[in-house]
A and B are shown apart, each in its own frame.
Chain A
Amino acid sequence: MAAIDMKNIVKKYGDGFPAVNDVSIDVADGEFMILVGPSGCGKSTLLRMIVGLEDITSGDMMIGDKRVNDLAPRDRNLAMVFQNYALYPHLTVYENIAFPLRLAKAPDAEVDEKVRAASKTLELDEHLERKPGNLSGGQRQRVAMGRAIVREADAFLFDEPLSNLDAKLRGQMRTEISRLQKRLGITTVYVTHDQTEAMTLGDRVAVLKRGVLQQLATPRELYENPGNLFVAGFIGSPPMNFLPATVEGTTVKLPFGTVEIPAEKAAKAEGKGLLMAGIRPEYFEDASVKTDPGNGSTFRAKVDVVEWLGNETYAYIPFEAPPEVEEQLRQLERDLDGEALHTQLVVSLDGASRITEGEEAEIWVDGSKIHLFDPASGDNLTVDRERAGRIPGGAMEDAAEQPAAAG
């Protein structure tokens, strides 16, 4: 068991392209850390640098108190589960799990005891004599985990372990991994591109974009206080809505109407011209269903498409965005691996809502939860730094000075 401390890690490939650029992440002993981001963000590279399968260009990789930059994978005492499981097809499940112990020249009795214990934990007892080729995806996944837990490794590393499973199994295995990690209390680094896995599994989540750490925080902090447009768009499903906005006093002017926001938020965005407002779909509600309007505002808009899911309803409201915002939104879509779609507002309404397609509906929105972003830099102007974890980079200093300047 050990903490993993990454200090200013850089990975440059032969062509000088930095796949990972100055990333610092500290994983506490026993912590479940998630590395998340769209494809090509460097999360897998970072994981492979921890385990030693990828050279580190510069920076320090500390496991426990030891600098491991130049150690071979076998000397780092880490266990890893690969995306395609990497089971040894010529060995039985038993021998697959026993493989690390056999390499360590453990006596047969000890091997047997540990393998049986691992197989019991993972409910693999009846499959021990089978070959991996005859197992289902979920079973293979469990064998891969068995091979990891059978040794007393300092940490577990997972590289997108659930991406090859179907949706239902993925959900089950997710809980299984979470339960296992809690029980063993072992330091874990888990790479995924799936924000649901990131939110549900992680004690803390590191969001990466093109090799740069965007924000390192708990799932709740990421959700409620995203540091920039990218994090805001990446975390949450359906994703946050981004609308062109201008602030006048304590009112925000949106394409559909004006919304009142708290004074301290308005102060941070004062005199910034055209901004980008970020509102999560669930901050909206059908005004006719909302019994207690509280400190929200209402506006009227024509609903284009309605998707009724039983417990909730998604309504889609198209809007026109000025070119500069439009460009920023398209760029964001590309960063998030998405397709550039037309600008629309997605609102999540109560399942009881009776709004129909083509109808002009009255929608309520919670103004206190609106975030305002600088469209040029993407920084969140209204971020609550106390509850946003760590947001590295120049953006931090800029934004940190803002309240002082404005106040």
Chain B
Amino acid sequence: MAMSRTRNKIGTWVGFIVILVWCLLPVAWIVSLSFKGPGETASGSPQFLPKNPTLQNFRDILGIGSVTPGQENTHADFLDALRNSFGIAAIATVLAVIFATLAAYAIARLEFKGKRLVLSLALAIAMFPVVALVGPLFDLWRTLHLFNTWPGLIIPYMSFTLPLAIWTLSAFFREIPWEMEQAAQVDGATSWQAFRKVIVPLAAPGVFTAAILTFFFAWNEFVLAISLTSTTESRTVPAQLSFFVGPDPFNPPYGLLAAASVVVTVPIIIIVLLFQRKIVAGLTSGAVKG
């Protein structure tokens, strides 16, 4: 009995470590790369840990202190891209969550013709390959003067994240007993007050889940970002990274790319840690007890 329990414990830990290594090794590799100088990344057989750890890559992309010759403009571009990424992702998230909350509430609570159609259409949009839309969007945006602007990226990001957000949120709203709103209405609330003061707080885990999924999508998206932008006016970080080139076209500045990746990953990690519990609640249950 004791034997098998110990064995179980060991098994659990082994499994644990395997999964951890599987998930975190690439991250560790990127982090380690970001501390390596160009000499080390270009060498034939690089070792895992940097031989001479350097902060030069971070200095280059953030523009702090002395900058490697040839990378003088990199930091300005990168910081512009970072600003664009933040702005576009944040605005897309806020708008998508507001629209999705209202739409999901209507879908969960009202009986109307074509409800199934709306839901299926939303799902169909989510399944549509992004690449197939790039060409038409490019043409359309140029005509509408949305090419290379923030709205030019915000609108498609919203459209692609709305379906998932609507599905997540309508599942949440369905879980909330009708009586909650009815009680609020009897207590003297208008429909809007009942929604804002009772239903939205109760669906908070769902709202957070939807917000974070939307933010991640907008933050990481590459295909639209590279196709619908032309300058650092509106180019986001993932797209900007592809413009990082060193003096030698056959030797990409791996250290620089790694450092930039680390910098853009940090906000995501902070967000996940902050909202960890809410996300877990949101993804696992959606159970809101009356």
Residues of chain B within 8 A (CB-CB) of A52 are: 185-186
Q: Is A262 an interface residue (CB 8 A)?
A: no
- Report yes or no: B177 in contact with A74, Cβ–Cβ below 8 A: no
Chain A interface, >50% SS class: loop
Q: Is A85 an interface residue (CB 8 A)?
A: yes
A51 to B187, CA, bound (A): 11
Given contacts A51-B186, A53-B185, A72-B185, contact A90 B179 (CB under 8 A): no
A52 to B189, CA, bound (A): 13
Q: Is B184 an interface residue (CB 8 A)?
A: yes
- Report yes or no: B187 in contact with A147, Cβ–Cβ below 8 A: yes
- Report yes or no: B186 in contact with A99, Cβ–Cβ below 8 A: no
What 15 additional pairs, Cβ within 8 angstroms, besides A74-B187, A88-B180? A51-B186, A72-B185, A74-B186, A74-B188, A74-B190, A79-B186, A86-B177, A86-B179, A86-B182, A88-B202, A89-B288, A90-B204, A100-B188, A147-B183, A147-B187
- Report yes or no: B182 in contact with A53, Cβ–Cβ below 8 A: yes
- Report yes or no: A89 in contact with B188, Cβ–Cβ below 8 A: no
Enumerate chain B interface residues (CB-CB to A < 8 A): 177, 179-180, 182-190, 193, 198, 201-202, 204, 288-290
- Report yes or no: A82 in contact with B185, Cβ–Cβ below 8 A: no
A27 to B13, CA, bound (A): 69
**A99 CB contact (under 8 Å) in B187, B202, B289:** B187
- Report yes or no: A99 in contact with B179, Cβ–Cβ below 8 A: no
Q: Is A207 an interface residue (CB 8 A)?
A: no
Residues of chain A within 8 A (CB-CB) of B189 are: 74, 103
Residues of chain A within 8 A (CB-CB) of B289 are: 89, 133
B276 to chain A, nearest CB (A): 19
Q: Is A93 an interface residue (CB 8 A)?
A: no
- Report yes or no: B193 in contact with A73, Cβ–Cβ below 8 A: no
**A89 CB contact (under 8 Å) in B184, B186, B187, B290:** B290
Within 8 A of B (CB), among A251-282: none
- Report yes or no: B187 in contact with A100, Cβ–Cβ below 8 A: yes
Most chain A Cβ neighbours within 10 Å, of B177, B183, B190, B290: B183
Would you list 27 pairs from A and B whose C-beta atoms are within 8 A, ordered by A residue? A52-B186, A53-B182, A53-B185, A72-B185, A72-B190, A73-B182, A73-B185, A73-B186, A74-B185, A74-B187, A74-B188, A74-B189, A80-B186, A82-B182, A82-B183, A84-B179, A84-B290, A86-B179, A86-B182, A86-B183, A87-B290, A88-B183, A88-B198, A89-B290, A100-B188, A151-B187, A151-B188
Residues of chain A within 8 A (CB-CB) of B180 are: 86, 88
**B186 CB contact (under 8 Å) in A78, A83, A84, A90:** A78
A131 to chain B, nearest CB (A): 11
Q: Is A184 an interface residue (CB 8 A)?
A: no
A196 to B201, CA, bound (A): 39
A290 to B151, CA, bound (A): 94
Question: Which 5 A/B pairs are nearest by Cβ-Cβ distance?
Answer: A86-B183, A86-B179, A100-B187, A103-B188, A73-B185
Q: Closest A residue to B193 by CB, please name it.
A: A103
- Report yes or no: B187 in contact with A103, Cβ–Cβ below 8 A: yes
- Report yes or no: B183 in contact with A90, Cβ–Cβ below 8 A: no
Residues of chain B within 8 A (CB-CB) of A73 are: 182, 185-186
